[in-house]
Amino acid sequence: MLTIVSLFYAYARPFIKWFLRHFTRLCELQRICYGCESGAKRKKCVEESLSLSRQKPIKELIDRLNETIANKVAMDEFHGQLIPHAVSTILKVKKVKRKIHPDFGPSLGVCIESIWSYRRLCADIEDIRKMSFDSENVDHENKLLKLWRLLMPEQPLEGRISKQWQDIGFQGDNPSTDFRGMGLLGLENLLYFAEEYTAAARYVLSHSVHPIHGYTFAIVGINLTSMAYNLLQNGAAKTHLFNLKTQHLSLKHFHRFYCYLFYEFDKFWVECKPTSLMDFSNIHARFLSDILTQLNDDQTLFNMNQVFNI
């Protein structure tokens, strides 16, 4: 049934747009920017409208913006030159006069910045995920050792290869093997949590060592990296990230999203009172379902400051 409706909409869409354009004297993008509340809803609708456009200049514009990500165009050039050019191109194609509609251009520019900033973030995160932890890399090793010092300040690490790593939830005496699935991204997330929200990270760690309801802190953290990564790549995280006050998304925004997931998962785990790690899959699935339900609401913005006020 859904397929039939989708096919009908695909064929009917140009006629619907034509009718609404002549009836309202506004193009689809104007109707979105004027009719949708600022934030995730508006940005998602603008993104869909642009992706469905059949106009050649719009398609070429989208290709050019996508190329800026592949070519690692500098942020200053992207925000200072390419975004204004994109807005001007769309105004020209849609025959929108700035003097008559002075608010449309700036509103559209904010949406375009957020959309391609999100896509750039996805690419940056993917690059980090693909990078394997390298024990021969001094920077990688220093980050791992720093993680220990932040989480266990009163207990010196006896050696790089040590069973002590299990105290913070790694599987064996060499943590490097646990980063295979998420690459360096798993370590970067854990370190950001421990460094930026030290009290919260230690608070979560204290729950993980509970004799009955405990769990493997680092391994669960890496699993949550996978969750955050998937939510970013499949677009579910757009709701939260598009509702942030900034259009210039960066790695810190992904890290903070991850920290929120980790802290909330710990709270969810404690509330469930599991008696064994065998309950992890079920609790993980229920937690993910809850997060997805929240992200399906375009008003959702995870309040990081409130969460970490412990």
As for how many domains the chain has, the answer is 2
CA 54 to chain centre: 29
> 176 with 45, same domain?
no
Among 130, 157, 181, residue at a domain's last position: 130
Rounded to whole angstroms, the Cα distance separating 217 from 133 reads: 19
Note the pLDDT tens digit of each residue in 72-89.
Answer: 888 888 888 889 999 999
Q: What three-state secondary structure class fits 247?
A: coil
Note the pLDDT tens digit of each residue in 93-125.
Answer: 999 999 999 999 999 999 999 999 999 999 999
Among 80, 111, 130, residue at a domain's last position: 130
In tens digits, the chain (310 residues) has pLDDT values of 546 545 544 455 564 454 445 555 689 999 999 989 999 999 999 999 999 999 999 999 999 999 999 888 888 888 888 899 999 999 999 999 999 999 999 999 999 999 999 999 999 999 999 999 999 999 999 999 999 999 999 999 998 999 999 999 999 999 999 998 899 999 999 999 999 999 999 999 999 999 888 899 999 999 999 999 999 999 999 999 999 999 899 999 999 999 999 999 999 999 999 988 889 999 999 999 999 999 999 999 998 776 666 5
> 196 with 252, same domain?
yes
Among 91, 108, 130, residue at a domain's last position: 130
Q: What's the token pair of residue 72? A: 């690692």
**Does residue 226 form part of some domain?**
yes
> 86 with 182, same domain?
no
> 143 with 213, same domain?
yes
> 231 with 89, same domain?
no
> 160 with 303, same domain?
yes
**Does residue 7 form part of some domain?**
no
- pTM score, two decimals? 0.91
Rounded to whole angstroms, the Cα distance separating 293 from 295 reads: 5
**Does residue 147 form part of some domain?**
yes
User: Residue 191 belongs to what domain range?
Assistant: 138-307
Give the length of the chain: 310
Q: Is 246 buried (19+), middle (13-18) or exposed (0-12) by CB count in 10 A?
A: exposed
> 172 with 188, same domain?
yes
Q: Is 103 buried (19+), middle (13-18) or exposed (0-12) by CB count in 10 A?
A: exposed
> 93 with 186, same domain?
no
> 55 with 192, same domain?
no
